[in-house]
Each structure stands twice: as structure tokens, then as C-alpha cells.
Structure 1
Amino acid sequence: MATKTDLFDDSTMTFGEHLEVLRFHLIRALLGLMIGVILSLIFGEQLVRVIRKPIDAALRRADYSNSNRVQDNIEGFDLWKSIGSGIWNQFVPPSISEEDKKAIESIETLTETEKKVVTLEVSPFDLVTALHQVAPDQFPEPKEELKDSPTVKLPATSAAFGDFRRTAEKVNQPVTLNVQEAFMTYMKVSFIAGLIVSSPWIFYQLWLFVAAGLYPHERKYVHTYLPMSIGLFLGGVSFCFYAVLPVVLDFLLGFNSRIGITAQIRISEWINFAVLLPLMFGISFQLPLVMLFLTKINVFQAQHYVAQWKLAVLAISAISMVLTPTPDPATMMLMMVPLLLLYVLGVALCYWSEPKSPLGDAA
């Protein structure tokens, strides 16, 4: 009966042969990266729209919020109240009436012809008064009873209204400051997306090279913990993109509006921010595996992590402050809280991985 042997069990290679194997796998990894980048270039416009969604949505929310509340002046600004309300509104969104929702949806679905039309609400008393002033022979003076009448809606059409709407819509969109910036952003997004798409293949090629220098039990650890590492990384990236970015953007844009500053978002800077922040979250989510690695090499044990939990909280606070690209406390707290939960998960993994004492040792 044939037995299955490990590919690298009987591998004895010279330094030159190792270099040749490295060259072989690097070429295959680069070919995979090239294919991923080409595919990303084909769908580059859709990828840019996906990355723009958080900032576009945040700008619309900020514009709606500014148009429906009285602006605070700078003397009355409360930083901690702003932070608290910004985070609270993500879990308990401010109520919006059905009439306001329909108004927002109707504005977003207007055609170019409809954008040239605006509806004016005027008082019947003021309307009749204006008509009487223009043609007193045809329109008599308004009666006093008209002052209590509800307003009437009058549609008005002008090409200037369409230009005004388009200009107002551009305020809530990212901008470029030079002619090549949009194209360079498109290329950057495509390359990053291609790298992410081809990363499993690249890691697989690197693993084939590294595995030749590992013992069988070391390869077993990699097979066990590499999928966990990838899962934690993708979990951190997804958590940041879908949960953290809306909170951070609402807080930062709200801070702009509260001190009377209009935010003009540059698309290249937004791409850098939207890539860097999720990357930092993905890296920080590796904390349980780092703790487990330190346990495996006998630097720390699970009891040490439990005994030094206060120091761990301080260290996690410092890590959250360093890894987040913005100095605002909202971003720091949104990284710190998940890391504390991951610290607990790391302690559990360390306890689980520690060798169990045989039952005979107690005798």
C-alpha cells in the first residue's frame, strides 16, 4: 500500500538551489499579481465607487444635518458632547420623518429637466398684494382674511436652477486639485485591489518556499494558524470599513460644521485614509495570535496575561493611539474596545494551547 509522504520530508538543497526555488516562486507570485491588477483595472471605476461610498454617504448625512438644525457657534462648542452624540447616533440614528425621507429620495432621483424646476411657497396675501401693486385696475387690494390662509405652491422653471442644483451637489462630492489626480487615484485603487485579490496566491507561493525549511510539526502550526490570521485580518478590515469609518466620518465632519468650516474632501487623500485605517485595524486584530506565539516560545504564559491585565489595557491604549492615523478620540476608542475583547480571546487561546498535565502527575 502506497503511503503519502510530505513533499519536503527528504529535501536537502544547497544555497544556490534555494535561490533558484525562491526565484521560481517569486516569478509565479508576480504573474499572479499581474493578473489581479489587470482584472482590477477592468473594474477600476466600480472599485473607486465602492471606496467612495462611506465618504459620499457621510457628506450627505452632514449636509442634511446642517440644513435641519441651528448651527452652534464656536463659543458654545462642546467637544465631548460632540464625540458622544457622534458615536450614539451610529447605534441610535436620529429620527427622520417619512416626509423628509421622501424629499431626500426625490432630490436624488431628479432628472436633468426636473432639476430646472423649483417650487415656491408664497402667502396668498403677499401674492395678491404684489399683483395689486403691478396692476391695481385688474387686481383689487387683498382682504385681511387672506393673512390667515395657508401658503400656495407655485412651480418656477429656469435653466439657472439646474445649474444651481448641480453646483450644490458637487459640494457633497470628493474633489481633485490637478488634472492627473483622478487617473492616478484610479491606478492606485486598481493596484491595491489587485494585490488584495492575488494575495492568497502570493502567500501560497511564499509558503511553498518557506515550508522547505520547516520541520513537519512547524508546518502543522502554519496550516492551523494561517487561516485564523487571514480571518482576523479580513475581520478587522471589514469591521473598520463598515462600522468604524461611518462613526469617524460623522464625528470629523460634524466637528467641521460645528466650528463653521466647509469640508472639501480631496479624493487622493480619502483613498489613502480609506486604505490606511482598515489596514491598521487588520494588523491590530492579529493580537490573539501574537499572544499565542509568545506563549509558544515560552516568553509569557496565560497566567501572566491575566495577572498583568492593567498593564495590557495601558499598552492597548497606546497601540490604538499609534496605529490610528487620526488623533481623534473616537477612532482610538473604536480600535481600543475590540482589541480588549481580542485580548480576552488571546488569553483563552493560550489556556487552550497549553499542554495538559498527565493525570498521573497528581499522584
Structure 2
Amino acid sequence: MFLLKKVFQLRDKANPELEKPFLDHLEDLRLMITRVVLTLLVSMLVCFSFQDQLMAIIRKPVDEVMHIHESKMLPKDVESLNWDQARKVEHAMIGLEPATAQHLLNQFDEKTRKLVDAVRLLRASAVLPVEKRADFLQQAKADQPMAELVTTLLTNGAKPDIDAKGNLQMMSVLNPTEPFMLSMKLAFFAGIVIAFPLLLLFTLQFILPGLHSHEKKVLWPALVIGFGLFLMGVCFAYFGVLPRALTFFFEWGLSMGVSNDWRIGEYVTFATQFTLLFGLSFELPVVVMVMVKLGLLTYESMSRTRAYAILAIVVAAAIITPTPDAFTLCLMALPMILLYEICIWLAWYDARKLRRQEEVEERERMERLLNEPQEE
């Protein structure tokens, strides 16, 4: 309640001519929340129909990390694409009659057929103790190159499994409802991204009510800039920072001897929250300029406390970024510091424009006073 009162006081301070009682402020808040909820519901329903595409997008960074690691497990003479094809062929042969399976295998070249045999032996050898694998390969009539290939794959930890769609099986769910809830979660986060301009508009309309006509003209370009900054932060996190963070955690787990069998639900939560936090952090200019508009910040106060603001940005970046390395921290902190510097100059420009406007109004007032007829 105390926080609401402070927000309502700021609204009245920004628009002294349109001061409202407490209940009217609550009605405006209810209207804003209703608009936000309805907008999110519509955008969520739209995104839900594209759940397969959304899953492919959100899985792309972790798939690349896993595939890079998988390619490191293969011998130098085995290419990653050939190995993936061999696993898909071997997966397709499961459950087929021997003659049908052999006919399918004959459709591929000799190199692929040998790799398919390697996948079979790898799957069978993986369930045996280490000391029994050599005898198994010998009894399976594997020639020396094949036995060496399978042994190398076992030693490096290569995986023969793929999922029902032919992709490398890397993540799983642990209860029946998790896939559906996962689709809902993806649709929700994607809905926030595509509906962000409207969400920002409703928020600004609540915080800054009673805008003048010339201020409303500036509002739409500001929304475009705000949405652009949000998308810039999301894309920067998705393409630049998230793959580095996943690689760090994956390699850290390997260094500790831990199997990186990540759950898809926990990964999606991590990836979506991580990218959204980056997107929201890039909204720093919007937040700062709103505070300047409300009179909470000025150019003088921002320039005077620049060092403290930079320290706060670095601390916030250290909390948001999940990895402890300095490079990832800089990827988060430097853009925010640059955006804050831009905010300082925007505040200076806004103060100068306001000062000039006041000078013009004062000059016009003095001219009117001088031109008024004097009483005799």
C-alpha cells in the first residue's frame, strides 16, 4: 500500500493539473492490469500455435553446444554429419525384420554402413563392464579397425541415442504433464516478447498520464526505441552470451566428472529468463528517462553520481550473468554503462530544452508587461 501511494504521488507530481483521489488512481491501475493481462493472453494463444518452432529456437543454443562436444568425442576420420546420419539409420532399423533392415542399410554407402555397425556395437558395449567389452567385440566378429573405433567412442563417451524425431537425445522430462506445461511456458515468454510494445505503452500511459499533444507525438518513437532496445538485449543474450554460458556450465560439469543430463524444463526456464533479463536490462534508458520526466533524476545528479551508478551496474551484471568469468560480465556491463551514459546526455539535452523554453516564456512575459498600456 505504501508503494502504491508513492507511485500515485509521482503521477500527481508529473501532472499537477490532473490530480486524482486515491480511488481514481486505483481504477487506472485496474484498467492497466486488465489491458496487460488481456494482451498477454492473446499473444500467448498466438505463440502457442507455433510451439514446435519456438522449441526449435530455444533449443538451438544448447543443441549447438552439445553437438560441438559430441564432435570432439569422435575420431578424426569420422565426421559429425556422417555420425548423425548413421545414428538415424540405426534408429530407423530398430524393430524391422532382418531382411527389411538389411535392405534399408544397403541404400547407403559403405562408410555409412560401417558407422551403423559401430552404433550397434556401441549401444551393446555400453551396458557391459569395461573389462568385458574387448571380449564382446571379439565374439561379435568386429574387425580390428571396427573394434578400435567402438573402443574410442566408448572411451570418449559418445552417445548412440536419438529421440523420436531423429535428433540427438540430450534432455528429458520426468512427469506426464511437463511437456504441456513447457509449451505453455514457452508461449508465455514468447508472448511477452511480441507484445512488449503494447505492455510498455500501457505502463507508460499509467505512469505518465495526461500527456500533452506534443508529448504524445514523442511517445510513439519512444515506444519504437524501447522495443528496439528490448529486442537488442534479447538477441544479444541469445546469440552472444547464452552459448558462452552453456558452454561454461557444460565444460565445468565435465571437469567435475558429472554427466550433463539436463532436464528440458529447467533448461527452458533458464534460457528464457536469462534472455528476458538481458532484454529488460537494455530498457535502462526508458526507465531513466521516465524518472527524469518525473523529476526524480536530473542531469546534475546523474553526472555527479556516475561512479556509483557504474558500480551498481557492474554489481547487477554480476548477479544477472550466471558465469563468473570477466568476459561474460563485461558483455553484460559494458552495454548497460554505455546506455547509462547516453541517458546522461539525453537528460542534459532535455534540461537544456526545458531551460530554453522557460527563457522564451519569461521573455514573452516581460514583453507583454512592457507593451501593456500604463495607467495615468
Short-chain TM bin: 0.5 to 0.7
109 and 353 in structure 1: CA distance in 2 versus 1, 3 angstrom threshold: farther
Partner of 1:129: none
**Do residues 118 (structure 1) and 94 (structure 2) align?**
no
Change (3 A) 1:58 1:355: same
Query: How far, CA to CA, are the matches of 1:196 and 1:271 in structure 2?
Result: 15
Change (3 A) 1:312 1:52: same
CA distance in 1, matches of 2:177, 2:241: 30
Amino acid at match of 2:114: V
Matched, 1:336 2:333: yes
- In structure 1, what is the Cα distance between the partners aligned to 2:87 and 2:243? 29
> C-alpha offsets along residues 330-360 of structure 1, whole Å, 9 cap, x if unaligned?
54332112212222322332333331566x9
Counterpart Cα distance in 2 of 1:290 and 1:24: 21
Number of matched pairs: 285
Q: Is the 8 A contact 2:65 2:247 kept in 1?
A: yes
Could you report, residue by residue, the CA deviation over 1:53-88 in whole angstroms, capped at 9, with x for unpaired residues? 1111111122334557xxxxxxxxxxxxxxxxxxxx
Counterpart contact for 1:288–1:349, Cα < 8 Å: no
8 Å contact from structure 2 (residues 317, 332) kept in 1? yes
CA distance in 2, matches of 1:223, 1:300: 23
Note closer, same or farther for the CA distance 1:39–1:313 as it changes in structure 2 (3 Å cut): closer
Q: Which moved more, 1:204-213 or 1:107-116?
A: 204-213
Q: Is the 8 A contact 2:200 2:223 kept in 1?
A: no
Question: What's the counterpart of residue 38 of structure 1?
Answer: 45
Match of 1:233 in 2: 230
Q: 2:63 aligns with which of 37, 56, 72?
A: 56
Deviations 1:179-229 (A, max 9, x none): 221221112212332343344455556667777644445545533423222
Q: Distance in 2 between matches of 1:246 and 1:226?
A: 29
What residue number does 2:126 align with?
A: none
* Cα RMSD, aligned residues only: 4.4
Report 1:23-172 matches (<5 A). 32-65=39-72, 103-110=79-86, 112-113=88-89, 117-119=113-115, 165-166=160-161
Amino acid at match of 1:253: F
Range 279-288 or range 241-250, more displaced: 279-288
Report what 2:270 is aligned to.
273
Q: Which shifted more, 318-327 or 41-50?
A: 318-327
CA distance in 2: counterparts of 1:307 and 1:209, whole angstroms: 30
Q: Which residue identity lines up with residue 104 of structure 1 in the other structure?
A: S
Which of 171, 175, 179 aligns to 1:178? It is 175
Asked if the contact 1:236–1:281 (Cα under 8 Å) also holds between the matched residues in 2, the reply is yes
Mapped to 2, the partners of 1:194 and 1:298 lie a distance apart of: 33
1:144-195, CA deviations, whole angstroms, 9 ceiling, x for partnerless residues?
xxxxxxx9789x9xxxxxxx72269987522212222122111221233234
Please give the per-residue CA displacement for 1:284-305, whole angstroms capped at 9, x wherever unaligned: 1122333434444555444554
**Cα–Cα, structure 1 residues 64 and 112, in superposed 2: closer, same or farther, change >3 Å?**
closer
Corresponding residue number in structure 2 for 1:292: 289
Judge conservation of contact 1:58–1:249 (CA < 8 Å) in 2. yes
SS at match of 2:352: coil
> Which residue of 261, 266, 282 corresponds with 1:264?
261
Contact conserved, 1:62 with 1:250, CA < 8 A, in 2?
A: no
Q: Structure 2: where are the runs of 5+ without partners?
A: 1-17, 94-112, 119-143, 150-158, 361-376
How many Å separate the matches in 1 of 2:200 and 2:319? 27
The answer as to whether partners of 1:26 and 1:206 remain within 8 angstroms in 2 is no
Q: CA deviation at 1:244?
A: 0.8
Q: How does 1:206-245 map to 2 (within 5 A)?
A: 213-216=210-213, 218-245=215-242
Counterpart CA distance in 2 for 1:304 and 1:12 is: 27
What percentage of residue pairs aligned between the two structures are identical?
29
Identify which of structures 1 and 2 has the higher relative contact order when contacts are C-alpha pairs closer than 8 Å and 6+ apart. 1
TM-score using structure 2 length: 0.60
Q: Distance in 1 between matches of 2:303 and 2:20?
A: 45
**Contact residue 248 and residue 323 of structure 2 kept, 8 A:** no
Q: Distance in 2 between matches of 1:255 and 1:305?
A: 40
2:269 aligned partner, one-letter code: N
Please state if 1:197 is matched with 2:194: yes
What is the CA–CA distance in structure 2 between the aligned matches of 1:226 and 1:183, rounded to whole Å?
33
Deviation at 1:323, TM superposition (A): 3.1
Q: Does 1:255 align with 2:252?
A: yes
What TM-score comes out, normalization by structure 1 length? 0.62
Structure having the higher helix fraction is 2
Q: 1:325 to 1:216 in 2, by over 3 A?
A: farther
**Aligned AA for 1:290?**
V
- 1:45 is matched by which residue type in structure 2? D
- Displacement after TM superposition at 1:38 (Å): 2.6
Contact 1:320 1:335 in 2 (8 A): yes
Distance 1:271 1:12, change over 3 A: same
